[in-house]
Structure 1
Amino acid sequence: MPSPKRKYSGIERELIRALITACETAKSEIVGFQWLTHEVDYERFPQSLRVTWMFDSEASRAHALACSDKARMLELTQAAFDEVGISVASIAEHVAFSVERQARGKRGQGH
């Protein structure tokens, strides 16, 4: 039986491709947005899947969360999941928002 990571490697590649599209779209629409990353524990897929949207400053992050940008980021994340066929009950439970300086040193897939 293949390992969970090997089993999901095709989904991982497709998800990265879809998240790159979401990232590029957001860069042109959301002030202060820099990049996104995702983490997943394949033993608990898709429940453990989390996408983190990174901002250049706390002020940019706070502004984005206070206006329609938050809904747009959730929409872009949902579209990426849908494109790959990943079904989750609540997209908001799989999305986080952070500031670039707070994430340095963390491991993940940057897009």
Structure 2
Amino acid sequence: MPSPKRKYSAVERELIRTLTLACETAKSEIVGFQWLTHDVDFERFPQSLRVTWMFDSEASRARALASPDKARMLELTQAAFDEVGISVSSIATHVAFSVE
């Protein structure tokens, strides 16, 4: 039986592709946003999937979270998941916001 990582390697590649598009979109729209990353434990996929949006400062992060930018980041993350076929009950539980 293949390992979970091997089983999900195609999903991982597609997720990286769709999250890269989300990242590039957000860079042009959200002040202070720098990059994003994701982490997943394939033994607990998709529940363990987490996307972290990184900002250049705490002020930028706070400003984004207090504005429509937060909804936009959730929307971009959901669109990336949808494109890959990853179904989650609440996108907000799979997203974090941090500072470099």
TM-score of Structure 1 vs Structure 2, range by shorter chain: over 0.9
Equivalent residue, structure 1, for 2:85: 85
Is there any run of 5+ residues in structure 1 with no aligned partner, and where?
101-111
Q: Name the TM-score, length of structure 1 as normaliser.
A: 0.90
Matches within 5 A, 1:1-111: 1-100=1-100
1:21-69: per-residue Cα shift (whole Å, max 9, x none)?
A: 0000000000000000000000000000000000000000000000000
Instruction: Look up the equivalent residue of 1:74 and give its one-letter code.
Output: L
Q: Name the count of aligned residue pairs.
A: 100
Is there any run of 5+ residues in structure 2 with no aligned partner, and where?
none
SS at match of 2:97: strand
SS at match of 1:36: strand
Instruction: Look up the equivalent residue of 1:22 and give its one-letter code.
Output: A
Q: Identity percentage over the alignment?
A: 88
Q: Name the TM-score, length of structure 2 as normaliser.
A: 1.00
Any runs of at least 4 consecutive aligned residues in structure 1 with deviations exceeding 2 A, and if so which? none
